[in-house]
Structure 1
Amino acid sequence: MRISVFMKTGDADTMYYLSALVATKLFSRIDVFRDQSAMPLDGVVYHKNHLFKKGFVRLIERFLSALLQKDRPDMYIGVYEIPHGVLAWFVSRLRRRGFILSIIGNPGHTGLRKGVRLYIMKHMIRCASAVTVTGYRSKQVLKDMGVNEDKVFALPNSIPVELFKDLSIKDRPYDLISLGRISPEKHIDIILKIVQRLAPDLELQVAIAGRGPSVEGIEDMVKRLGLNQQIRMLGYIPDNELESFFNSGKIFVVCSETEGFPRTILQAASCGSLIVSSSVGDIPEIIRNGKNGFLVAPYDNIDEYCSFITQALRDSDASLNMSQRLQKEVHNLFSTESAAKVWVSIFKSV
């Protein structure tokens, strides 16, 4: 069997997603259409743009490159609805092949999926042979939209757990760490407010990593609140430094207003960090409040973040027990091999 995948995820996320497909051993070849090549994998052929690197024309080049392939694949996969889900859908219709849509993120996020975008998503789902989402809560969202649940598969994000080990660092330098896209819906500003609120009792050391449109605003807020001595803005963390970064923090904090199933939670947990996260998207499917981490609702409940963080830092033994419990679950349930089993069931159904 041969498949073609359209995607624009980061190099690491691309590798994790494709590794699960490779691990199924179902495919003789996987053609991947994206901006550039990523890590070499057995049977994976990358088709990067040669003529256009930016703008809408690069998508046209990608579309034509897939459409003009000499040998037709058996199935097309689009990762994210727009634009790569649309590209995979169009090519599949023109070449009379099946189409799988992978929704990464919360399909019920009304701030993003509304109007024309929501209409396109629903139409693609109706045409798709199968749809993957990151958890059963997201599957329920699609079911509530009227989607046939038999074609929707919960495909949790996975990681190569062997690349994210707990390095057993006795004194981790940061109390709190955060990594991800720094954008409005991620609410990194809440972390700053937490640090300010706890300042009289706890002088937290915090590392915030990532890039995005809100970086300058967050940096200005750090200065305005006088938190320069407590908060470090690290910017982009290369893939080969992620394990070290996650081992630098005692607590990994997520304050997002909306999420699907962030892979960073799995990476941090695999490295032994305790998770304190907003209770959104599919995150409650892995984090059980007070058992293997802490969940905050609503996402902007600063009092609750402060309470959980204070509790975790003052009772290190309980925190260690929770983080070790989650670490074992991540290794058992969210490995590449676990995701491969889901893909096998998907392709059996289509």
Structure 2
Amino acid sequence: MIIYTFPIRTAFIDRDLEMICPEMKVSALEFTQSPTKLPFYFILQFFQLLWFLPRTTQYLCFFGGYHSVLPVWFGKRFKKKCIIQAGGADCMHMPEIDYGNFRKKWLRKATIYSFVNCSLILPVAKALVRQHYRYDQGISAKQGLLNLIPDLNTPIEIIPNGFDTEFWKDQNSPREPKSLISVATGTSKQSRAIVKGYDLIEQLASLHPEMKITLVGDENYFTPYSNINILGKQSKDELLALYNSHEIYLQLSTSEGFPNALAEAMACGCIPVGSSVGAIPEIIGSANLILKTKNYHDLEAIVMTIMKNDQSEAKKKSRERIVTNFDFDNRKKLLLSHLATH
């Protein structure tokens, strides 16, 4: 049995479980992101891992952090494989925007312990291994695991996310003219909104009242602009409809691993505009749709060019990019191959 631990249950956790469950027995153990609940969850997790120990063949963690410390320790102590899937914040040190595991003393220690002592690291993007960060000039250039843990010797293999493009597809329905959409959770917290690039989106809305912008994922996010529509978390079917009613998807993150919503929106025919961070350039694939540095005027120029031109060919290219390069079955095959060898 595989013990799968994570700090909070998300759509990509569900997708991993959907991949693994038909092939192997899995027990999913959610941890916490609340600092005040940490002591309780460490005790709870210890006894959960102890209870499952006789049936456990290996451990799988999404992200490195507090929740991965005990699975890694159990793995070493009882000679069971422990794999960590690196996802984003666990490979970043960006105190300037209050982001990344390495900005907090004890979280940094937990993250380093986990990555140094686990059996295998499976990042979702190459940029999480090592990157020379240039997007926001106020942030340190040295990011990624090998820059932040220079003596890291744990084997690393990149496995990008994969998507069900039979579900995420262009339904050829009418799209609202000059419509843009972005999806992110937790953005009612200001630092999180900046990480997700909402400051640039607000600027775009303020100077272009003709644009209709939808921000999905946090119903408590506040905006003073009437041309921004705020929606809370949506179901898969609701997201499918939203992607198919908008022309442009914005992924203007200051830092990112592999943004799932970007790929889902592209598979639905949205034309992407993204920042030059994490796997975003790799997902989008077209240099003219990438915001190389955090600059509003460059963003405006990219968006206006898309809106002025015929979008039919760009829509097709967006979908083809995901279908060709980020297949659900390919990720499933690679992930299962590592879980099968224990």
What whole-Å deviation, never above 9, does each CA across 1:153-173 have from its counterpart, x for those lacking one? 112122222221211112336
Q: Which of 205, 208, 211 does residue 204 from structure 1 map onto?
A: 211
Among 120, 123, 127, the alignment partner of 1:137 is 127
Instruction: Verify the 8 A CA contact 1:78 1:100 in the aligned structure 2.
Output: yes
Paired residue secondary structure (1:55): helix
> Equivalent of 2:245, from 222, 243, 248?
248
> 1:297 pairs with 270, 292, 295, which one?
292
- TM-score, normalised to structure 1, is 0.80
Name which of structure 1's ranges 232-241 and 306-315 shifts more when overlaid on structure 2: 232-241
Aligned equivalent of 1:167, options 168, 171, 175: 171
268-277 or 147-156, which deviates more: 147-156
Alignment of 1:213-224 (within 5 A): 215-216=220-221, 219=222, 222-223=223-224
4+ aligned runs moved over 6 Å, structure 1: none
Q: Tell me which of 147, 150, 156 is aligned to 1:146.
A: 150
Cα pair 2:195 2:253 within 8 Å, conserved: yes
Structure 1: which amino acid aligns with 2:17?
A: L
Instruction: Deviation per CA, 1:222-267: give whole Å up to 9, x if none.
Output: 32xxx21x11111221233111121121001122111101101111
Distance in 2 of aligned mates of 1:239 and 1:178: 15
Residue 29 (structure 2) aligned to one of 6, 28, 33: 33
In the TM superposition, residue 55 of structure 1 has moved relative to its aligned partner by 2.3
Residue identity opposite 2:217 in structure 1: G
Matched-pair contact (CA < 8 Å) for 1:139–1:153:
no
CA distance in 1, matches of 2:211, 2:325: 32
Find the aligned partners of 2:8 and 2:15 in 1 and give their Cα distance: 10
- Which residues in structure 2 correspond to 1:196-345 (within 5 Å)? 196-199=206-209, 203-211=210-218, 215-216=220-221, 219=222, 222-223=223-224, 227-228=225-226, 230-290=227-287, 294-298=289-293, 300-317=294-311, 320-345=312-337
- 1:73 matched to which residue of 2? 56
Contact 2:64/2:115, CA 8 A, preserved across alignment:
no
2:109 is aligned to 119
Q: Deviations over 1:46-100 (max 9, x none)?
A: xxxxxxxx92324432331222126332210111222322232233234431211
Query: Is 1:55 matched up with 2:51?
Result: no
Q: Which moved more, 1:121-130 or 1:268-277?
A: 121-130
- TM-score, reference length from structure 2: 0.82
Q: Deviations over 1:179-227 (max 9, x none)?
A: 112123113121010122334xxx1011111128xx44xx2xx32xxx2
- Partners in 1 of 2:336 and 2:128 — Cα distance? 20
- How far apart are the structure 1 equivalents of 2:129 and 2:338? 14
Structure 2 residue runs of 5 or longer lacking an equivalent are 131-143
Over 3 Å counting, the alpha-carbon distance change for 1:142 and 1:348 in structure 2 is farther
The alignment yields a C-alpha RMSD, in angstroms, of 2.6
Change (3 A) 1:237 1:347: closer
Q: Following the alignment from structure 2 to structure 1, what is the Cα–Cα distance between the partners of residues 258 and 249?
A: 15
Contact 2:176-2:247 within 8 A present in 1 as well: yes
C-alpha distance in 1 between matches for 2:106 and 2:75: 21
Residue 232 of structure 1 aligns to a residue whose secondary structure is: strand
Count of aligned pairs between the two proteins: 311
Amino acid at match of 1:158: G
Match of 2:206, SS state, is helix
* Distance in 1 between residues matched to 2:126 and 2:30, nearest whole Å: 28
Task: State the distance in 2 between where 1:123 and 1:346 align.
Answer: 21
Q: Secondary structure at the match of 1:163?
A: coil
Q: Which whole-Å CA distance do the structure 2 matches of 1:10 and 1:321 have between them?
A: 36
- Give the % identical residues: 19
Give the residue type in structure 1 aligned to 2:94. T
